[in-house]
Amino acid sequence: MVSFVVRRIGWSLVVLLVASGVMFVLVRATTDPLSSVRAASATGGDSDAVASGRLVAAEQRRLGLDRPLVAQYGHWLGAFVRGDWGQSIVSHRSVGREIRAKLWNTVQLIVWGIAFSLAMSVIVGVASASRQYSALDHGLSGLSFVALSMPSFWFALMSIELAVFVPKRALHLDHPLLYSVGLHSATGGGAFDYLRHLVLPVLTLSLPLVASWSRYLRSSMLDVLSAPYIRTARAKGVRRSRVLRHHALQNALIPFTTVSAIGIGGLFGGLIITETIFSWPGMGQLLYNALLTGDTNVLLPWLVVAASFVLACNLVADVMHVVLDPRVRL
C-alpha cells in the first residue's frame, strides 16, 4: 500500500512537471510580460523610442526573457519551487501572497461544496436506485436533469431572489436569512453568520455535482444490485438495508470515487461564476481579474496551483480506489 502511494505521488510529480512545462510554453506563447513596455515603446519621438528600446532590452535581461525558453522555464521552476512566485503586475504584491489569501477562501468553498455534494449524491443516488422506476426515482431523476441543464449563474441569481430577497420582504426582516455577498457580515461573525454566507455559493457550486454524481451513483448501484451475490445475500435473509449499505453501496462507491475526484478537480472552473456573483474573494475571482487585467504573472502560478489540485484529487481517488477495492493492489 505504502509503495503504491509513493509510486503514485512520484508519477503525479512527473505529470505536474510536464503540465507546468506545457503551461509555461502556452502562457509564454499567448501572453507577453513586456507587452506594456513594448506598447509604450511605440509612442513618443525618436529619442523616446531609443530610450524605450533600451528599456525593453533591459527588462528582457532583468527578467531573463532573452534566454532560451528551456532556460527560462528552468529559472522559473527553480524560483517557483523556492516559493518565489513573482509579483503581480497590477497590485505589485507577491503573487504567492495573493494566491495564498485567495486559496484559503476557495478551499472553504470547495470543502463545504464537496461535503454537501457527496452527502446529497449518496442520498439521492441510493434512494433512486433502491426504488427503481418508482415515483420517487422518477422525481429525483427529473430534478437531476433540471439541475444539470440549469446554468449556474441563473441558479445563483434565482437563489438570491428567492432565498434572500423574497423572505426578507415577506417576513419584514431587518436582515436577510441568507447572505449573497462575501464571507461574513460587517457587524457579525461566528459560525452562524458564516453559515448564512456559505449556503448559497455552496448550493450553486454543488448543484451540477449533485445532479451528475447522483445519476452516476444510481447507475452504479443498479449494476451492483443486479449482481448474483446481492441476490444470494437477500436469499440468505440479510436485511435489505444491510444489503444496500454493506454490499451494494460499498461496491458502487468504487467507480464513484474516480468520477467524483475528477468532478472535484473540475470545480476550479465553476468557481469563476460562483465567486463573481457572490463576491467571494477566491481563486476564481483572482483568475478572472488576472485575465481581465492581463496580469500574466498571476496566470502561470494560478494554473500550476489548479493543476496541483486536480492531481491531488486524482491521487486521493486512486488511493481511495485501493482502499475500497483490494483487487487493485494485486
Partner 1 sequence: MRSIRRNTAAAVVAMVLAGAGCSASPTKHLTPPAATDQPAKGGTLVIALAGEPGCADWLAPCGTVQTGFTAMGRPTVPRALDFIDGQYRPTAVLAGEPVVTGGPPQRVTYRINPKAVWSDGQPITSSDFRYSWDQIVNGAGIANRTGFDQIESVDDTDPRTAVVTFKVPYAAWRTLFATILPKHLLDGKDRGGEMKDGYSWSGGPWMIDHWTRGQEIRLVPNPRYWDRAPNLDAVMWKIIPDTAAALAAYKTGQVSLLQALPPEATAADLHALADTRLDVATSLGVSWVSFNTQKPPLDSLAVRQALAYSADRDAVVSQVLGPIKPDVKAVQSWTTPASARWYVEPFARYRPDPAKVTQLMAADGWAKGADGIWAKAGQRAQFELLGSTAKSNQLVRQILQSQWKAAGFDVSLADAAPAAQADREAKGAYDADISGFAFPSDDPGRCAFLCSRSIPSAANANSGQNITRVADPALDGAWARVDAEIDDARRLDAVKVAEGLTADLVPGLPFAPGVATLVYSTARLAGPVSNNVPYPFYNLNEWWCRGGQC
User: What are the residues binding partner 1 (CB under 8 A)?
Assistant: 35-37, 39-40, 42-44, 48, 51-52, 55, 89-93, 98, 101-102, 157, 160-161, 164-165, 168, 173-176, 179-183, 185-187, 276-279, 281, 285-286, 289, 292-295
Q: How far apart are CA 73 and CA 224, in angstroms?
A: 49
Which grid cell is 85? Answer: 512566485
DSSP category for residue 278: T
State the minimum distance, in angstroms, from the CB of residue 165 to partner 1.
Answer: 5
Kindly state the smallest distance separating residue 44's Cβ from partner 1, in Å. 6
Grid cell in block for residue 93: 504584491
Please choose, from the candidates 105, 86, 109, the residue with its C-alpha nearest in 3D space to the C-alpha of residue 97: 86
In the complex, least distance from residue 161 CB atom to partner 1, rounded to whole angstroms? 8
Q: Which is nearer to partner 1, 72 or 94 (CB)?
A: 94
Smaller CB separation from partner 1, 31 or 276:
276
Q: Return the exposure string of 225-259: e unless at least 16 CB atoms fall within 10 Å of the residue's CB, then b.
A: beeeebeebeeeeeeeeebbeebbbebbbbbbbeb
Alpha helices (runs of H) in the chain, residue ranges in sequence order? 2-30, 35-41, 46-63, 69-81, 95-130, 135-149, 152-160, 166-170, 190-225, 228-235, 240-242, 250-265, 267-277, 283-293, 296-324
Is the separation of the CB atoms in 122 and 249 below 8 Å?
A: yes
Q: How far is the CB of 112 from partner 1 (least distance, A)?
A: 18
Distance CA 248, CA 245 (A): 6
Is 34 strand, coil or helix?
coil
C-beta closer to partner 1: residue 44 or 266: 44
Nearer to partner 1, 179 or 216 (CB): 179
In angstroms, how far is CA 219 from the centroid of its own chain?
Answer: 25
The minimum distance between CB 7 and partner 1, in angstroms, equals 40
For residues 285 and 275, the answer to whether their CB atoms sit within 8 Å is: yes
Nearer to partner 1, 100 or 246 (CB): 100
Minimum distance, C-beta of residue 53 to partner 1, in the bound complex (Å): 11
**Minimum CB–partner distance for residue 85 and partner 1 (Å):** 16
Q: How far apart are CA 325 and CA 189, in angstroms?
A: 44
- Using the minimum distance from each CB to partner 1, give the nearer residue, 258 or 276: 276
Of residues 20 and 180, the one with the C-beta less far from partner 1: 180
Nearer to partner 1, 122 or 164 (CB): 164
Q: How far is the CB of 271 from partner 1 (least distance, A)?
A: 13
CA angle, corner 107, sides to 106 and 110, nearest 5?
A: 85
How many C-beta atoms lie closer than 10 Å to residue 135's C-beta? 8
